[in-house]
Amino acid sequence: MSTTEPYQPDPRRWKALAVTLTAGFMGLLDVSIVNVALPSIQQGIGLSTGGVQWVVSGYALTFGLVLVSGGRLGDTLGRRRMFLIALSAFVATSALAGAAPNELMIVIARLLQGCAAGMLTPQNTGLVQDLFRGPERGKAFGLFGAVVGISTAVGPVLGGIIIALFGEPDGWRWIFFVNVPIGAFAFALAWRLLPKAPRRKHSLRSEIDFGGVFLLGAAVLCVLLPLVQSEQGGLEKLWWLFPAAAVFGFAFVRWERHTVRRNRSPLLDTRLFTTTPGYSSGAALGSIYFCGFAGIWLVFSTFFQQGLGYTALESGLAVTSFALGSSVSAAIAGRLVPRWGRRITVAGLVLVVLGLGGVAAIAGAVTPSATGLAVAFPLLVAGIGGGMVISPNTTLTLECVPTAMAGVAGGALQTGQRIGTAIGTAVLASVFHAVVGASGEHYALALSVSMLCAVVLVLVALCLAVLELRARRNQTTPLSKEERDRRDAECSSADIQRS
């Protein structure tokens, strides 16, 4: 019989959140920080062109592949246990990547590191759901959104600083080694601060849907592999994987529904998308936004380093204003979600459109030497808008998800964002290189066209946000304070518990 236990605030919840966000920051940071280190890796161990692609894309591939399974394991085994296991694996694989003597070892290390990060990330959203309720949850997700935004945007800056400090031949190793002491310290604090889960009443085998794991993993792999290999002709050679992904996806949905009808635990209960208010629309919005948002960073890195001859550090500093704007606005926006709701997301997307549109206009209007400084203000505007999108959308998407499904729901949300990142990176990088052409010219025009493509993608997300805002307004009449409190309690209570 399902039971609902009263919520008792953990007095150490904010300290625990700080520890988990630190670990989550490392995992997300390693998605983008490697981009500026690629010349250093090539110089250090003679990395081939194919190896470069796998160092970058292999991490993203395995990261996205295990997010939902990692979330489900956290729901089943307990988020503290999964957090500690995944963090240990991430530290070990970071050390392996940093010590890699050749191309094969660093590619293997990056694949394993992506798996560990993918297991680690959904524990963050699950722990926020576990530890916080009401307005506090909005603040916590605001900090989580700030971490997501900062980690994506600040990666090039930190990568450039590390390489500048340790030199080109071996500086790339410290991009990975720096995770070791930080991760070890976070592990010690997490062991002490994270709450323990109750002992499981059933065996792990009976609670894990292995059929669902296989089908969903195959579907995600078939989508991501052609995208992450797009620079090596993956879209032309592996296009047939997209129809295969549709087949695996259809089979996964049928399997999960069959599993529910048999009263067994599904990997991802499809009712999460059909009956949980705001989840499906919020997940779609986040995925499409990440197509435009996350795809711009490889374009910027290529433009500044290859087009303008910037160093890795200079390239990172050129986009710092976005990270600054995003970090501040995300923390503030998270606190305003209970009052303003989806309107914050709409306003943020408008600012992102204006900021990226401003970059597109400026890139073709100033001399190349002035571009880095000229785009600082529009990137600041886009960053402020970006911070108003990620954390509020995460809060609104997960606000009515039962606590016992928080891990898998966060994993599915992040999977959509990883797929969006892969699509956006493939599309914008392809557009950029197509405009530059074989002559290696027209870098400013290529930047402008790529930014306009990103604007189009963000506009699609804006349309979804407006539709969601209208739907929320039309769903119910204004509620009294008592009704709102009761609804919030229902949304945030753990109404699906282990039998």
Residue partners of 459: CB distance under 8 A and separation at least 6 = 353
The distance from CA 281 to its chain's CA centroid, rounded to whole angstroms, is 17
Is CATH 3.20.20.140 the right assignment for the domain spanning 13-195+267-475+484-492?
no
Residue 107 CA to residue 340 CA, distance in Å, equals: 45
- A 10 A CB-CB count for 245 gives 19
Q: Which has the closest alpha carbon to 220: 78, 68, 6?
A: 68
Predicted pLDDT at 354: 95
Side chain identity, residue 327: S
Would you say 443 and 303 are in contact if contact means Cβ atoms under 8 Å apart? Answer: yes
Cα separation, 29 vs 151, in Å, equals: 5
Q: Which of 341, 353, 342, 345 is nearest to 381 (CA)?
A: 353
Nearest-angstrom CA–CA distance, 414 and 69: 12
pLDDT of residue 1: 35
The dihedrals phi and psi of 266, each to the nearest 5 degrees, come to -80, 160
Mean pLDDT, residues 49-57 taken together: 74
Mean pLDDT along residues 77-99: 90
pTM: 0.76
Q: Locate tokens 């997010």: which residue?
A: 67
In the numeric block, the tokens 């990620």 are attached to 390
Quick: pLDDT tens for 291-325.
888 778 778 888 888 888 887 677 778 888 888 88
Going from N- to C-terminal start, the domains of the chain cover 13-195+267-475+484-492
Which residues, at least 6 apart from 191, have a Cβ–Cβ distance to it below 8 Å?
Answer: 84
Banded pLDDT at 377 (limits 50, 70, 90): very high
Angstrom distance (rounded) from CA 212 to CA 199: 24
Cα separation of the two ends of the chain: 6
Tokens of 449: 């066209």
CB 124 within 8 A of CB 140: no
Q: CA-to-CA distance for 466 and 386, rounded, in angstroms?
A: 16
Most confident of 42-46, 83-87, 160-164: 83-87
C-beta of residue 425 within 8 angstroms of C-beta of residue 294: yes
Find the DSSP H helices in 132-167: 134-166
Pick from 367, 368, 352: which is nearest to 424 by CA? Answer: 352
Is the C-alpha dihedral spanning 45, 51, 53, 59 positive or negative?
negative
Concatenated DSSP letters of 241-290: HHHHHHHHHHHHHHHHHHHHHTT---SS-THHHHTSTTHHHHHHHHHHHH
**pLDDT tens digits for range 317-374:** 888 888 888 878 877 887 787 778 788 999 999 999 999 999 999 987 888 778 888 8
Buried b / exposed e along 82-108 (16+ C-beta atoms within 10 A): bbbbbbebbbbbbbbbbebeebeebbb
Q: What is the DSSP letter of 401?
A: S
Asked whether the beta carbons of 121 and 67 are under 8 A apart, the reply is: yes
Q: What burial class does residue 81 get, using C-beta atoms within 10 Å of its C-beta: 0-12 exposed, 13-18 middle, 19+ buried? A: middle
Q: What is the pLDDT of residues 143-202, one digit of tens each?
A: 777 777 677 667 777 887 888 888 777 788 888 998 899 899 999 998 988 887 665 555
Q: Contact 241/223 with Cβ under 8 angstroms?
A: yes
Instruction: Return the closest-CA partner of residue 152 out of 298, 341, 351.
Output: 298
* 81-85, 103-107, 147-151, 245-249: least confidently modelled range: 147-151
Is the pLDDT at 96 greater than 90? The verdict is: yes
pLDDT in the model for residue 348 = 93
The token pair at 485 is 């409190």
User: What percentage of residues in the chain have a pLDDT greater than 70?
Assistant: 86
Asked whether 18 and 193 are in contact (CB, 8 A), the reply is: no
224 or 499, which is more confident: 224
- Number of CB atoms found within 10 A of residue 238's CB: 17
pLDDT reading at 458 higher than 90: yes
Among the ranges given (119-123, 261-265, 483-487), the one the predictor scored with the smallest mean pLDDT: 483-487
- Candidates 350, 315, 313, 359; CA nearest to 329 is 350
Amino acid at 364: G
Residue the block writes with tokens 């699609």: 460
Q: How far apart are the C-alpha atoms of 337 and 325, rounded to whole Å?
A: 18
